[in-house]
């Protein structure tokens, strides 16, 4: 019964929200046509003032412009509301202005008498000043800021998109967060573009206010003198005061709305609202308050100056500086008391605890990079590295070892190095608080900063200050922070050394994970048919050629089938590769596309087959001349393949695939060798180049 009653009310609530917009627009437009009594005008003018104050307060307390993304639409609606009220009040002023100053309602009367003292000359001057402030200063400045922000936001979109792609590829963020970041960038561009156009409405509103005032005054004089037989002084007083009151009651909310627009487009996006930013940045230096108080104190001692006012304000500023300095000293003492000296440890005899195991993966940082890993200092490097490990496990099929991080005072302050089993496999420098602007190859603008190279991929780059980040993104640079530089480098290196990361411990954890779901599957293979070391070797063979091991069910099924016949890990690896052929091919060529591959000349194939048959599976029995020719032509064919935009894949007979893969791995690291038996029957093959055709 409750559900029956609740559902219609929910639907009715949604319908009311849906109808709110059209009804509001129709009511605003109706005010231009339908005559309104003075009481309704009072209500609407009061609502207009309240709406302007609400918009201003929301603008003050938003921390990001996108939190008030509807502001351009609100700007249009409030402008249209003011113009409609001007039209409605002008109609009442011209029809009933001869009856007295309250002909158009109490609000207009109050603004015409109380604010300007009933003097229409003063009111006219005040109105003109408000219009000049609104039109020339606030609206023009806000419009210019919105225009520049819109242009720079659009120019910076490619760089921001590349930065998101870089974080996604490095495993720092997931697909969902990347999608939300892209949506935020698009909304930001739409917002500033809309603000650029909406600011023109405010400028037009100011111009329309002046024209409406002049037309209403002239029209009121004509109506009062010709239709109601009023003398010039009475007509001028009645109609001018009513018109000025009408203009002021419209211009003050317009000024408030324009101020809100300027606040929204001129502020910098932070985690603080405007009040916190102003108080935190303008009054955070006691020295500035002391100097200002001193200057005001000296001016207060000059004869003829308002001494009391100057000395009072100087005392207030001086007392404020004293309190700020006292609080700063108290915080410093509190930090000193917390930092206790490390207790002296008595000398102990040597023990096995002094034997430190070598970390499989390690990261050593200089002392200036310690804040990147310190959570107390908002360091997010640990979180990003965890994201890399998670993404690695999802892509490759096993969880890599934990990256142990420690400081190393022997390194340069901004340097870091990445170790694998105690050996350094990568090193670089990263500057905390700065950004690395990477040139992807099409940037011509030179940025001021420290030239360097991207430590992961060797691309030309420059370390820049945070203030140049937007400019760099707008000019096509890929801009990343210090933590991203380190994590991208780590991600690149662990993918290069994937096979070495699969140790006995990682493999056993993988098997334990699979056993929880399919215990019989593992028991039939290890240790019944093959030892753990043989399985590790086969998986390392796959990983060394960038073949993921996510499909462990297929791998174990194939090994269970053939391990009873042979224990040759190379041959078993070949069987597994054939079973994984579809997945291997799809790593390079999407499903359904044609396979654009390189091939070997048939004479070269025959020679290599003879090398394998003579026992040269690793290429050791190959003649030097043949080896040099093969390396030279394979390198040239790989460059040609890359220039065509195709994956660097060589198709070869299965009997020589392993020989070619091992022999060419170091000379042409980007080359991948597939056998004919690994290609699914439904895939079409196109040969782009032939190696050894001149032999």
| Contact by Cβ (8 Å): 687, 674 | no
How does pLDDT run across 112-142, given as a tens digit for each residue? 666 556 566 776 777 777 777 776 777 777 7
Most confident of 60-64, 133-137, 141-145: 60-64
| Contact by Cβ (8 Å): 427, 374 | no
Q: 502-579 — its CATH code?
A: 1.10.8.540
Higher pLDDT, 232 or 424: 424
- What's the order of all strands across the beta sheet hosting 595-600? 672-675, 649-652, 595-600, 685-691
Predicted confidence at residue 101, as pLDDT, reads: 61
Which sign, positive or negative, has the C-alpha torsion 510, 514, 520, 524? negative
| Contact by Cβ (8 Å): 543, 498 | yes
Residue 335, both tokens: 């930090």
| Contact by Cβ (8 Å): 182, 164 | yes
How does pLDDT run across 610-653, given as a tens digit for each residue? 888 887 555 556 888 888 999 999 999 999 999 998 999 999 99
How far apart, in whole angstroms, are the C-alpha atoms of residue 268 and residue 274? 9
How does pLDDT run across 484-504, given as a tens digit for each residue? 999 999 999 999 999 999 999
Among 638, 644, 632, CA closest to 672: 638
Residue 581, both tokens: 């052929």
Q: 360-499 — its CATH code?
A: 3.40.30.60
Which of 45-59, 190-204, 249-263, 373-387 has the least mean pLDDT? 190-204
Predicted confidence at residue 297, as pLDDT, reads: 83
Predicted confidence at residue 568, as pLDDT, reads: 92
531 phi and psi, to 5 degrees?
-75, 165
- Which class for 560: exposed (0-12), middle (13-18), buried (19 or more C-beta within 10 A)? middle
- What does each C-alpha distance from 150 to 143, 156, 259 come to in angstroms? 10, 10, 19
Match 């009311």 to its residue by tokens: 16
Q: 587-695 — its CATH code?
A: 3.40.50.12790
pLDDT at 344 over 60: no
Higher pLDDT, 313 or 579: 579
Most confident of 17-21, 286-290, 546-550: 546-550
Residue 310, both tokens: 């100057």
Determine the distance from the C-alpha atom of residue 236 to the mean position of all C-alpha atoms in its chain, rounded to a whole number: 60
Which of 96-105, 129-138, 306-315, 360-369 has the least mean pLDDT? 96-105
Predicted confidence at residue 453, as pLDDT, reads: 94
How does pLDDT run across 456-471, given as a tens digit for each residue? 999 999 999 998 998 8
Average pLDDT along the chain: 81
46 phi and psi, to 5 degrees?
-65, -40
How far apart, in whole angstroms, are the C-alpha atoms of residue 348 and residue 72? 72
């Amino acid at each position: 019964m409750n559900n029956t009653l609740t559902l219609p009310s929910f639907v009715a609530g949604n319908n009311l929200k849906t109808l709110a917009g059209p009804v509001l627009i129709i009511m605003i437009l109706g005010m231009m046509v339908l005559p309104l009594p003075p009481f309704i005008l009072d209500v609407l003018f009061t609502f207009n003032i309240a709406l302007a104050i609400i918009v201003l307060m929301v603008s003050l307390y938003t921390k990001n412009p996108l939190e008030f993304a509807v502001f351009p639409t609100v700007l249009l609606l409030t402008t249209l509301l003011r113009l409609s009220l001007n039209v409605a009040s002008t109609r009442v002023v011209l029809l009933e202005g001869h009856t007295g100053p309250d002909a158009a309602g109490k609000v207009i009367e109050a603004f015409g008498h109380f604010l300007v003292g009933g003097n229409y000359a003063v009111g006219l001057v005040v109105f003109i000043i408000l219009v000049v402030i609104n039109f020339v200063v606030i609206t023009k400045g806000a419009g210019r800021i919105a225009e520049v922000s819109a242009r720079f936001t659009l120019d910076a979109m490619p760089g921001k998109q590349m930065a998101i792609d870089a974080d996604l590829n490095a495993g720092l963020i997931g697909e969902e967060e990347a999608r939300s970041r892209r949506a935020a960038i698009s909304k930001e561009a739409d917002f500033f573009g809309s603000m650029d156009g909406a600011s023109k409405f405010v400028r037009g509103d100011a111009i329309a206010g002046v024209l409406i005032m002049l037309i209403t005054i002239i029209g009121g004089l004509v109506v009062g003198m010709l239709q109601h037989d009023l003398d010039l002084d009475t007509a001028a007083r009645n109609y001018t005061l009513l018109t000025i009151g009408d203009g002021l009651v419209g211009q003050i909310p317009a000024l408030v709305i324009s101020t809100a627009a300027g606040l929204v487009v001129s502020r910098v996006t932070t985690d603080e609202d405007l009040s916190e930013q102003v108080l935190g940045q303008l009054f955070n230096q006691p020295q500035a308050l002391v100097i200002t108080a001193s200057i005001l104190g000296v001016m207060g001692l000059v004869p003829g100056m308002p001494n009391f006012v100057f000395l009072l304000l100087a005392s207030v500023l001086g007392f404020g500086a004293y309190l700020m300095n006292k609080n700063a000293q108290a915080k410093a003492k509190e930090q000193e008391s917390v930092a206790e000296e490390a207790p002296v440890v008595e000398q102990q005899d040597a023990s096995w605890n002094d034997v430190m195991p070598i970390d499989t993966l390690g990261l050593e940082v200089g002392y200036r990079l310690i804040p990147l890993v310190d959570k107390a200092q908002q360091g997010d490097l640990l979180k990003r590295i965890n994201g890399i490990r998670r993404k690695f496990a999802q892509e490759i099929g096993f969880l890599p070892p934990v990256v142990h991080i420690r400081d190393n005072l022997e390194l340069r302050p901004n340097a870091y190095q990445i170790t694998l089993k105690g050996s350094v496999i990568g090193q670089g420098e990263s500057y905390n608080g700065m950004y690395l602007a990477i040139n992807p190859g099409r940037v011509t603008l030179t940025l001021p900063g420290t030239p360097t190279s991207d430590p992961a991929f060797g691309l030309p780059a420059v370390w820049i200050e945070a203030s140049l980040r937007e400019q760099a993104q707008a000019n096509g640079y890929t801009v990343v922070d210090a933590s991203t530089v380190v994590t991208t480098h780590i991600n690149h290196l662990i993918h290069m050394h994937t096979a070495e990361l699969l140790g006995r411990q990682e493999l056993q954890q993988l098997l334990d994970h699979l056993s929880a779901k399919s215990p019989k599957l593992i028991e039939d293979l290890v240790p019944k048919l093959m030892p753990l070391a043989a399985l590790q070797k086969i998986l390392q063979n796959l990983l060394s050629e960038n073949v993921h091991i996510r499909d462990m069910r297929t791998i174990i099924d194939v090994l269970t089938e053939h391990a009873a016949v042979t224990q040759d890990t190379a041959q078993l690896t070949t069987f597994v590769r054939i079973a994984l052929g579809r997945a291997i091919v799809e790593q390079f060529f999407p499903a359904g596309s044609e396979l654009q591959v390189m091939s070997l000349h048939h004479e070269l194939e025959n020679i290599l087959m003879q090398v394998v048959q003579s026992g040269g599976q690793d290429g050791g029995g190959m003649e030097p001349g043949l080896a040099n020719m093969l390396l030279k032509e394979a390198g040239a064919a790989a460059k040609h393949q890359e220039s065509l935009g195709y994956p660097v894949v060589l198709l070869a007979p299965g009997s020589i695939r392993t020989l070619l893969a091992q022999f060419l791995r170091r000379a042409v690291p980007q080359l991948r060798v597939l056998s004919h038996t690994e290609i699914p029957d439904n895939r079409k093959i196109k040969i782009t180049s032939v190696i050894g055709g001149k032999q």
